Every structure is written in C-alpha cells, then in structure tokens.
Amino acid sequence: MTILMRAALATALIGLSALGSLSRAAADDCETVITDLTEAVSIAHKNFETTMDELKQTMSQPADDKKKASVKSTFCSVVGELLGASRASRAVAGECGPSQRAALAQFDKSIKEIEGAIDSTCK
C-alpha cells in the first residue's frame, strides 16, 4: 500500500506541474477554464494528501480485515477523485493547448499511473 501511495502522490505532482505549464501557455479564452481546473486538481491533491496521512496513521496500528477493507475503500475513493480531476484537466488541455505536447504527454503518463494504482488495488 505504501508504494501505491507514493506512486499516486508522484503522479499527482506530475499532473499539477503539467497543468501549471499549460495554464501559462493557454489561449486567452481557455485561461479561465484552465485556472478553474487547476484549482480543482489542487483541491483533489490536498484532499489526497490529507487522506493519505490519515490512512498512514490508521495503518500504523494493528489492523483487522474490516479496518483493511475500510482503508482500501478510502484509498480507492480519494485516488478516483484525483483521477477524475486529472482526466478532466487532460481533456481541456487537449482542446486548449494542443501545441503543448510535452505537457499532454505528462498528463497521459500521470493518468496511466493513477489508473494502474486503481487497477492493482481497487478492482
């Protein structure tokens, strides 16, 4: 679980940095949307960090099957939220900043890593 948490956090940071570079290069009519998405991803990322800290504390204590299932459910939920924000941001970035191939590639990589964490843990 710790490796997945680190991978998901690293993925979130990659996505945030890619979105930041897109927001600087986006066309004027897309700037508002990208700014709003940046805020949404930031909120999802903060929620992710807070939840991961709580889960680390929970898992540092002895855990029964019920507790493990609860941690898994919480993890899947918060990573799903982050994935949704990342996918929305990627979709807008593709429309607003198609010339930003490197940033779009970072989004694609980030999304695949989050999907991998969800697939290996949540299904």
Q: What is the pLDDT of residues 60-108, one digit of tens each?
A: 888 788 888 888 899 898 888 888 888 887 887 777 766 667 777 877 8
Question: How high does pLDDT run on average in the chain?
Answer: 76
Res 23 pLDDT > 50? no
Look at residue 100 and give its three-state secondary structure.
coil
Q: How far is CA 84 from CA 14, 18, 93, 114, in A?
A: 15, 16, 14, 10
Under 8 Å CB-to-CB from 7, ≥6 apart: which residues?
113, 116, 117
What are 46's two structure tokens? 């903060």
Q: Percent of the chain at pLDDT above 70? A: 73
pTM of the predicted protein model = 0.63
pLDDT-based confidence at residue 4 (cuts at 50, 70, 90): low
Angle at 78 between CA 73 and CA 83, to 5 degrees: 120
Q: What percent of the chain has pLDDT over 90?
A: 2
Domains of the chain are: 2-122 (1.20.1440)
